[in-house]
Structure 1
């Protein structure tokens, strides 16, 4: 991923927060023809013993798990909030539009999970994160149903080997920050989140104090 220095964050709390807040990711592998193969799916971030693991699964008919088995290294991309940025935020006219966004890209090493108990532990993490109330319903469906459902999927752990976090909020153009913040703070849900990140990164701290 292209990350100009002004947009790069090396703070792991930024990356982990974005992953947890926007867990629906793109898993990117190389297929048997040498082309990118992409599966959109939710992933759960597990931090243990200094490692980051991304937990997920795909349908058994999806060939992606076979590509992970043959070529375990892959890329995972998480897209956070994003919004158009109008050139009207600049005090001068010689400017062009752009786009603001927050994203995390991870290089991962895959390990397939086939044992029922291991799949069950993985699903507990996913259910707890997205729908805790469903846990009781899932248990009530019985082992026969659970085994049938789990046989139709392939679960995996993706160990994060490296990550990049890009926070593109026009940091290098301070003359735009006040107008950009005001626009985003009054805008869509994504724009409001971007406005909050501008405050968090210290781009417009004084503005929030005056509001």
Structure 2
């Protein structure tokens, strides 16, 4: 994505925070005709010694697994809070509206996971992210039923090869910061999220 230096996050911890707070990602590959193919799905982030790894799964009927098997390089995007920026935040009138947002784009290399034990371990990580008490119910399912469910999915591990984290919060216009932050803090959920990010990056 377009990355002006003043919007480029230098601290990888910001990227990890954004991914964990906004795990519903877009996984993008090319189909057999070379057209972008997108699957929206939850992702689990692991920070390993070698870098970020993203874990998730498809329905077996989703052709995306086949695309990744033949073309394992793909992209994953995460979008955090975003919101309108009014020109009224500036002390002068020669300004125009804009849109602020926080996003992470990853270039990844995929490894498919199709053994029951590997898929079970991955599902337990996603359960831990979103509903830990459900883990006990999952363990109590009849073995043949759970095995059938696992057979209906293909899991994957995405090694992050390159990462971009963009935090667009008008950093290059300090005269606007006080009014922008106050407006976002009093706004809707997305705007309050932007106000929190302004705090995180010291604006």
TM-score normalised per structure 1: 0.94
**In the alignment, which residue of structure 2 is the partner of 1:87?**
87
Residue pair 1:127, 1:134 contacting (<8 A) in 2 also: yes
Within 1, Cα distance between the matches of 2:65 and 2:137?
28
**In the alignment, which residue of structure 2 is the partner of 1:206?**
none
Residue pair 1:10, 1:164 contacting (<8 A) in 2 also: no
What's the CA shift for 1:49? 2.3
Q: How many residues align?
A: 203
**In the alignment, which residue of structure 2 is the partner of 1:144?**
144
Within 1, Cα distance between the matches of 2:127 and 2:10?
30
Residue pair 1:27, 1:74 contacting (<8 A) in 2 also: yes
User: Which runs of 5 or more residues in structure 2 are unaligned?
Assistant: none
Residue pair 1:106, 1:163 contacting (<8 A) in 2 also: yes
**What is the CA RMSD across the aligned residues, in angstroms?**
0.8
**In the alignment, which residue of structure 2 is the partner of 1:11?**
11
1:116-135 paired onto structure 2 within 5 Å: 116-135=116-135
Instruction: Render the CA deviation track for 1:13-52: whole Å, top value 9, x for unaligned.
Output: 0000000000000000010000100000000001122321
Matched residue SS, 1:19: helix
1:1-211 paired onto structure 2 within 5 Å: 1-203=1-203
Matched residue SS, 1:9: coil
TM-score normalised per structure 2: 0.98
Residue pair 1:79, 1:102 contacting (<8 A) in 2 also: yes
